[in-house]
Amino acid sequence: MNRRKFIGLGGAAVAGTYIGMKLQRPPKLSDGPAGQSPVAILRARSYSDDLVTRMLEGIRECGLDVRGKRVLLKPNLVEFDPQTVINTDATVIAAAVETFHKLGASEVLIGEGPGHRRDTLDMADDAKYRVTIPKFESIFTDLNRDDVSPVRGFAGEPEFYFANTVLAADLIVSLAKMKTHHWAGATLSMKNLFGLVPGSVYGWPKNKLHYIGISESIVALNRTFRNTFAIVDGIVGMEGNGPIQGTPKPAGVLVMGRDLVAVDATCCRIMGIDPEKVTYMRMAAELGHVHPARIDQRGETVASVRNNFDLMPEYRQLRLA
Amino acid sequence: MGGVYLESRLEFLRQTQNLDGGWGYFPGKQSWFEPTAYAMLALQDAPGSEKALNLAWGLTRSWQCSDGSFRPCGHVTDGTWVTALAINLSCVRGVYDDNLHRAVSWMLSVVGAEHGLAMRAASRLHLLETKLDVSHEGWPWRDGNASWIEPTVHTLVALKKVAAHYPGAELADRVRDGEALVWSRRCADGGWNCGNPNVFDLDLPSYPETTGLALLGLQGRSPQQLAGPLEVAQRFRAETKSSLAKAWLAIALRCYGQSVDAPADAARTSNDILLAALEALAHPDGNHRFFQTPGGLA
């Protein structure tokens, strides 16, 4: 009996959260869909760089057309600690709002459902979202407290509920932070979709996802929402005991693409993590490309921006050779 | 009563009630049990609110499932932690009927999943990468999940209030064990977060709002036991800028008879219905007493 099965039998999961997944038997790596996935790596040395120009360049490289579309930007707003960099930087979100308007989106909204804290706007204040992002309150939806509708077949559940703002979006842009994660190895654009799940139905934290399994939930969310694009804020990421208690790690990049699996695989390699050793990456390989030969790297090369993130001892086996 | 601060919030609640009788988290949105329950508690006994309260009561009653639990909104099919709020509401309205009995029975049947046999065995074998004490049952957000502070506390308040009308030792046992769970989840800094004080031997910080909530669940404990947590709550109340946290802390501190500065007579600016209801409840002239459980059971 492996540890995952043991947790399942116990039906416990503070445990889904607390027991490491590192002893899971890794699933076979799928070849993924046909063709290649473009992923753009753009250098941005600081948040005062011209991020709109970088984003326009990256989106053009990836061939994304957003004209007339209702775009939902999903940042990573978790908690606030002035000593570190937990959340997607406000300047990245502001730049994304401007970028998607410039590209002809009919509407650009921001939505997030933090997993631990209930006062979302207070955290948004702390993270300087309200002062940095023009008209923030009029375009922001707390996905934890939005109206909801059921979706059938999510992770084998007869019904699973999502915020209507999410379900109405033509395109969901995962504006993730490049961070290590003490349960999943790394948290990037795919795991960022946890925030689409409403706390009003599933609680704070969204413990149901832990019981489904963190990796299984990441894959299920990315299987359910295919109308996605990723922009990962790796200008200053987080290393060590992420996603909350780690330390800032300047990596100086924005990573973008339509294939979130390929974007996250690329981010892992930039961080010095082997994505083929990350359980949820292997499981998600049926949805997108993990193997570097199937990723059409645009902009900078991985080698030119690789910057090993410090890993907790439990995850050092993930280090990319 | 209450001045501009309280009246502006109560008036906001009156104006934002949905046609079905409930309240959404924000004006014009789907009715949800949680904001509806807090709005009802805030408006209880307020002049001219009887019709609105009766309409809301009818809606919340319609959300009871066949197993006794209550759904979080009309669009969700299964019951959740809001059943605790339904019990509290029923006590406030003095309705001690079979519906209430079934709700209490459901809450007593629900146990935090981390208390399962396998997890307790794993804990004994030091297989858990946490110091979490899994010997207590507590209550989850949803049946089948682990227990957390907020649903446990609301259930403690509800069970303590309904205890006199629900005979048997089981309820008192669950309350004692629930209080023990809250204590066991206290953070190293003296307060509470959502219910996870430690990961990988690293202490996690407490939050102001959950510290206030935890204190509500511990009413009835000795003053010596509560002195430290109350001090932390007072400090959080002075320091936090979160309106939600301020409201829960004020409700909790008032339930303990502690002094809390009255808010300035500010008219409302937010469109957050849940917050407006909690701010009204937290006001010196508000209905914070509906969270009070004098004496507790412990």
Of B46, B14, B47, B20, which is closest to residue B32 (Cα–Cα)?
Answer: B20
Nearest CA in chain B to A115: B194
Is the Cβ–Cβ distance between A237 and A309 less than 8 Å?
Answer: yes
- For chain A, say whether B149 makes contact (Cβ under 8 Å): no
What is residue A13's predicted lDDT score, i.e. its pLDDT?
A: 45
Nearest CA in chain A to B203: A245
Is the Cβ–Cβ distance between A256 and A263 less than 8 Å?
Answer: yes
Contact B141 A10 (CB under 8 A): no
Mean pLDDT within A51-80: 97
From chain A, the residues in CB contact with B141 under 8 A are 202-204, 207
Phi, psi of B26 (to 5 degrees): -135, 155
pLDDT tens per residue across span B109-160: 999 998 878 777 887 777 776 677 888 999 999 999 999 999 999 999 999 9
A272: closest CA of chain B, how far (Å): 23
Contacts 24+ apart (CB under 8 A), A289-293: A289/A32, A289/A33, A289/A36, A289/A37, A289/A259, A289/A261, A289/A262, A289/A265, A290/A29, A290/A32, A290/A261, A290/A262, A290/A265, A291/A29, A291/A31, A291/A32, A291/A265, A292/A265
pLDDT tens per residue across span B231-264: 999 999 999 999 999 999 999 999 999 989 888 7
Nearest CA in chain B to A207: B145
The ipTM (two decimal places) reads 0.95
What is residue B130's predicted lDDT score, i.e. its pLDDT?
A: 66
Provide the chain B residues 213-232 that lie in CB contact (below 8 A) with chain A: none
Is the Cβ–Cβ distance between B194 and A116 less than 8 Å?
Answer: yes
- For chain A, say whether B24 makes contact (Cβ under 8 Å): yes
Is B5 in a helix, a strand, or coil? helix
A7 falls in which pLDDT band (50, 70, 90)?
A: very low
Which tokens go with A264? 């996250």
Q: Which of A120, A182, A207, A245 to mutate to test the interface with B (most CBs of B within 10 A)?
A: A207
Omega prior to A205 cis, within 30 of 0: yes
CATH of the domain at A29: 3.40.50
What is residue B1's predicted lDDT score, i.e. its pLDDT?
A: 55
In DSSP notation, A120-140 reads: HHHHHHHTTHHHHSTTHHHHE
Domain span at A119: 3-318
Of A135, A171, A177, A187, which is closest to residue A59 (Cα–Cα)?
Answer: A171
- For chain A, say whether B144 makes contact (Cβ under 8 Å): yes
Provide the chain B residues 79-98 that lie in CB contact (below 8 A) with chain A: 80-81
From chain A, the residues in CB contact with B202 under 8 A are 241, 245
A29 falls in which pLDDT band (50, 70, 90)?
A: confident
Q: Which residue has the tokens 């116990």?
A: A10
A25 falls in which pLDDT band (50, 70, 90)?
A: low
In DSSP notation, A194-234 reads: GGGS-HHHHTTTTHHHHHH-HHHHHHHHHHH--SEEEEEEE
Whether the per-residue pLDDT at A11 is higher than 60: the answer is no
pLDDT tens per residue across span A13-24: 444 444 444 445
CA distance B165 to B161: 9
From chain B, the residues in CB contact with A15 under 8 A are 114, 119, 122, 128, 146
Percentage, residues of chain A above pLDDT 70 = 92
The total domain count for chain A is 1
CA B35 to chain centre: 12
Nearest CA in chain A to B29: A147
CA distance B198 to A182: 13
- For chain A, say whether B198 makes contact (Cβ under 8 Å): no
Alpha helix stretches (DSSP H) within B129-191? 149-162, 169-184
What is residue A8's predicted lDDT score, i.e. its pLDDT?
A: 35
Q: Which domains does chain B have, with CATH numbers?
A: 3-291 (1.50.10.20)
Task: Check the CA dihedral A110-A115-A120-A122 and report its sign.
Answer: negative
